[in-house]
Amino acid sequence: MDHQPFFKRGPSPKTRLAFFGLLAIALMVTDARFNQLDLLRQGVGLALHPLQQIANSPLTLSRRAGEFFVTQSQLADEITRLRQQQLGNAIQLQLNQSLQAENAHLRRLLSTRKSLTSQSTTAEVMSAGRSPFSRKIIVDKGSSSGIQAGQAAIDDRGLVGQVTRLQLLSSEITLITDKGQAVPVEVVRNGVRAIAFGHGRNNTLELAFMPVNMDIQNGDQLITSGIDGTYPRGVPVAIVSQIERNAGDPFARITCTPSSGLDRYRSLLIISVSESPPAALPPVKKHAKEAQ
């Protein structure tokens, strides 16, 4: 009995190789001569495109992930750089504003100096006094610059204080708000004379021993009267800010705010002492000062 093979064998491998080789040559010749396979090539490429995308997807994903992390790192570095630049610009802006304010103050101080009839010396504040119970500042001009004890210190807005202690290269100025300071003043509105005493706190002055019926109003401007020979006449001293009148008290409580920038500016003018002899204060006012 003859045994037949389970699977029917086809052409031999050599025959297949020869057939497909001739077919490939024919297709290449046809494509080269007649350009008839472009449509077939496009169709095959379109059919194989999804397979190409799937095959390239791992490489594409890894590349995009790398670009994402690189971009995130670059953005973080850029944000850090921009924040540092913003901080630097803010600091520079503050410095510029401070310089503009200081330049404006110096221009006003120069204008004030030009308007003075007496000689003056420009000084810069070095530090505040060491004692917490006094209101004093130290400036960078001393006896070597011709500064003398008793000279008045002013800024572009008004009276600051008086030179009370001298060194060779520095001076101590007691502010008008110090408790031991007294400044003869007069009211610009009506010419009433008084003495302004420093409170020693809160940067305020007080017009002591003023009768309750005295013509003093809130907002009145006080200037130096010049009767003591230390402060030139007409320098702004303070503005009346609060008045308390009690019928049972013979004196009014009058609080004033200094006109000058006592704690704001670094430069001021020290005015030369008047050559005219100081005028004596009225006895009543001297007694009032002692009572204070």
CATH topology for 120-291 is: Thrombin, subunit H (2.40.10)
Percent residues over pLDDT 90 in the chain = 13
**Residue 290 — pLDDT band, cuts 50, 70, 90?**
very low
Q: What is the pLDDT at residue 284?
A: 32
For residues 274-280, average pLDDT: 38
Q: What is the pLDDT at residue 292?
A: 35
| 158 contacts 258 by C-beta, under 8 angstroms | yes
**Winning range, highest mean pLDDT, from 8-22, 175-189, 255-269, 278-292:** 175-189
User: Which residues have CB under 8 Å from 219's CB, separation 6+?
Assistant: 239, 240
- 97-101, 145-149, 260-264, 272-276: segment of lowest average pLDDT: 272-276
pTM of the model: 0.57
Q: Region of 209 please: left (phi>0), alpha (psi -120 to 50) or beta.
A: left
Q: What is the pLDDT at residue 135?
A: 86
pLDDT at residue 84 above 60? yes
Among positive and negative, which fits the CA dihedral 39, 43, 49, 55? negative
User: Which residues have CB under 8 Å from 250's CB, separation 6+?
Assistant: 211, 212
**Residue 25 — pLDDT band, cuts 50, 70, 90?**
confident
pLDDT at residue 279 above 50? no
**Residue 154 — pLDDT band, cuts 50, 70, 90?**
confident
**Residue 278 — pLDDT band, cuts 50, 70, 90?**
very low
Q: Report the length, in residues, of the chain.
A: 292
pLDDT at residue 288 above 50? no
Single out the residue of 290, 39, 40, 28 nearest to residue 180, CA to CA: 290
For residues 25-39, average pLDDT: 73
Please give, one letter per residue, the 3-state secondary structure of the chain: CCCCCCCCCCCCHHHHHHHHHHHHHHHHHHHHHHCCCHHHHHHHHHHHHHHHHHHHHHHHHHHHHHHHHHHHHHHHHHHHHHHHHHHHHHHHHHHHHHHHHHHHHHHHHHHHHHHCCCCEEEEEEEEECCCCCCCEEEECCCHHHCCCCCCEEECCCCEEEEEEEECCCCEEEEECCCCCCEEEEEECCCCCEEEEEECCCCCCEEEEEEECCCCCCCCCEEEECCCCCCCCCCCEEEEEEEEECCCCCCEEEEEEEECCCCCCCCEEEEECCCCCCCCCCCHHHHHHHHHC
Structure tokens at 21: 């080789």
pLDDT at residue 251 above 80? yes
pLDDT at residue 184 above 80? yes
Kindly report the average pLDDT of the chain as a whole number. Answer: 78
Residue 177 burial class via C-beta count within 10 angstroms: exposed 0-12, middle 13-18, buried 19 and up: buried
Q: What is the pLDDT at residue 114?
A: 63
**Residue 14 — pLDDT band, cuts 50, 70, 90?**
confident
Domain ranges of the chain: 15-115, 120-291
